[in-house]
Amino acid sequence: MVKYERFCVYELISQNEQNKFAVIVSPEEIHDYQNTVLVVPLLPIQTNLPFRVPIVFKNKQGELAIEQIQPVFKKNLLKKVGLLPTPLAEKVAETLMEMFML
């Protein structure tokens, strides 16, 4: 059984055969009970829009699009390719809390 961890970077199965990457943001406690995980896409551009977190991944600059959080079936997670460093994971968590603050 594959263990899906929060703040891990995964390559996604893509219909257009382009590499797409996303970071799991849902808590591990729910992964055993659902066929999906919540992810935010890693985009290969930097726009400095609100709720975006800058990232350097595979020596390329990009950003995590926190506002584009979405469910993805576990079967569409091709392979784990990395883990966010703690300071970046904390920034993602902080941005999620800020975005959903009521």
Q: Residue 77 is part of a domain; what is its CATH number?
A: 2.30.30.110
pLDDT confidence of residue 17: 67
Residue 23 contacts residue 9 (beta carbons within 8 Å): yes
CB burial of 25-38 (b: ≥16 within 10 Å; e: otherwise) equals bbeeeebeeeeebb
pLDDT confidence of residue 97: 93
Residue 81 lies in a domain: yes
pTM of the model: 0.91
Residue 88 lies in a domain: yes
Residue 33 lies in a domain: yes
The domain tally of the chain equals 1
Q: Which residues contact 9 (CB under 8 A, 6 or more apart)?
A: 21, 22, 23, 42, 57, 80, 81, 82, 83, 84
Residues of the chain short of pLDDT 70, as ranges, are 17, 102
Residue 29 lies in a domain: yes
Residue 40 contacts residue 66 (beta carbons within 8 Å): yes
* Owning domain of residue 42: 8-99
Residue type, 57: F
